[in-house]
Structure 1
Amino acid sequence: MKIATVNVNGIREAVSRGFLDWLASQDADVVCIQNLKAKSFELDDNVLYPEGYEGYFLDAEKEGFSGVGLYCRKIPKAIMYGLGFEQCDNEGRYLQADYDRFSICSFLMPDGSDPVAKGAFMEQYQEYLNKLRRKRRDYMICGTWHVAHKTVDLANWSDNQMTPGFKPEERAWMDQVFGPIGFIDAFREVNREAHQYSWWPALDSDQPRARQEGWRLDYQVIDPNLRRHIKDAWIDTEATFSEFAPVIVEYDLEL
């Protein structure tokens, strides 16, 4: 099973830059997308239902803002829209596809431009993550968490210690996710290399990518029961339809 996640940073702009061609070339079982910046009813059919996939979307209430989606080769048994708290659901930040053995989720954390809003979201989301670990079901939460967890996860870390996405309190929160709460960073289970980044600050120039001046903000966060099923993980830095690059993980599982 191949799962991909990517922050498209505007679905219509990403399509104009080749997103659908990339999607068709992946042969992924599920593709999680974030930051649609469009209402799903505004999108063309080729975006809503690419060949071979069923598309599911959760729109943000605000125009041109946020939103998440899932492209699934196999129709899920159920789709869960949102988490039941206003900040998440009104901003279109969580969409879950349930299969027999596990659930695959597309997730978008606030970026930290409003630190108070991000902190409030993290507090409520942590409560939800604790509840998930008590359920008799495994989860793969794929998306932009907007936190570089370790110093290896961004360039020039020493100059960014008070930058949103690498603040001590944000990193400590991720310590809880991968520590006491008990989730696993699927990518780092099999790929410990340096310079593994999923976001660069400027799309109009290839220089940040060429100089490796990036951040790893995107994750596949999974239940520990799934750890032994991880086969491979990589970041597709050749995909340039967004400032973000797809994070892809292969599992020896079937939907």
Structure 2
Amino acid sequence: MQHSSFKLTSLNLNGIRSATSKGLENWLAQEAPDCICVQEVKAQAPDLAGRFDDLCGMRGYFHLADKKGYSGVAVYSRHEPSEVRIGYGSTEFDPEGRYVELRFDTPTRKRSIISAYFPSGSSGEERQQAKFRFLAEFYPHLQLLRAERDFVLCGDVNIAHQEIDLKNWKGNRKNSGFLPEERAWMTQLLGEGGLVDVYRQLEPTATDACYTWWSNRGQAYAKNVGWRLDYHLATPALAATARSVAIYKQEKFSDHAPVTVHYNFTA
């Protein structure tokens, strides 16, 4: 099979209605990705029907939270998947709408695009412990998946892995998102776990340019006091086809920025 460019974007919307009111659709029409993985849809099925089923020529596939105005993920794709997986089999976290997987399988290969939204622990110890439980059960899921297929997981991971992944790393060593246990989980995933941080593969030393999230407090965005929380995590075969990455900051659709990678594969 001939290879061709596959343009894949990830973006935490912080509400699909909010992001589209700030110009997201115009940008998508110009960028024309093959696929966009979104997180924090913050909507229920009736809110989406007739308005957000499709986005700029891409059909949406959703995993929505049971709780109104909370979480929710989707993959919008120009290519029809062979199968859609909603949730990853978690009794605790599937009701929160955190995982949707589109499978693009042929007789000769198995390939998936995943949108995932990892829990945040920043609201307090109870949610931090929930985040640790999520990480503990999500790791083996990714290992089982990696054993059977290639995939790119896009999403808000809510972890800054290295010191170069956030501006004020010294002041955040005891804060959720940069805790030693969270960083160790990422190190394991990118080590013996066999996945590749595609952005770091392409931009191994980027610092200020790598941030994808900024607090709404103070002048964080204006001063670029940010964190890199949004990732493309890929199996080695697909990561090896990544040619370029861009973080779009000219417009602000949410408190996160879109991360787009050009891959050299077909859906």
TM (norm. structure 2) is 0.91
Contact 1:59–1:92 under 8 Å retained in 2: yes
2:196 match: 184
1:71 aligns with 2:76: yes
How far apart in 2 are the matches of 1:38 and 1:152?
34
Gaps in structure 2 of 5+ consecutive residues: 1-5
How far apart in 2 are the matches of 1:239 and 1:103?
29
How far apart in 2 are the matches of 1:28 and 1:232?
13
Say which of 77, 88, 94 aligns to 2:93: 88
1:10 match: 15
1:151 match: 163
Say which of 121, 124, 138 aligns to 1:125: 138
Say which of 154, 160, 167 aligns to 2:172: 160
Letter in 2 for 1:79: V
Say which of 173, 181, 195 aligns to 1:169: 181
How far apart in 2 are the matches of 1:32 and 1:234?
15
The Cα RMSD (Å) is 1.3
Say which of 237, 243, 247 aligns to 2:249: 237
TM (norm. structure 1) is 0.95
How far apart in 2 are the matches of 1:25 and 1:143?
22
How far apart in 2 are the matches of 1:44 and 1:93?
20
Contact 2:39–2:116 under 8 Å retained in 1: yes
Deviations 1:198-221 (A, max 9, x none): 000018x7x322312000000000
How many residues end up aligned between the 2 structures?
A: 252
Written as runs of structure 1 = structure 2, the 5 A alignment for 1:204-215 is: 207-215=219-227
How far apart in 1 are the matches of 2:94 and 2:29?
29
1:199 aligns with 2:250: no
Deviations 1:108-148 (A, max 9, x none): 0001131111011110001111212211x101000000000
Following TM superposition, by how much is the alpha carbon of 1:236 offset from its aligned partner in structure 2, in angstroms?
0.8
Written as runs of structure 1 = structure 2, the 5 A alignment for 1:210-229 is: 210-229=222-241
Identity of aligned residues (%): 38
Letter in 1 for 2:166: L
How far apart in 2 are the matches of 1:7 and 1:130?
24
Give the secondary-structure state (helix, strand or coil) at the position aligned to 1:210: coil
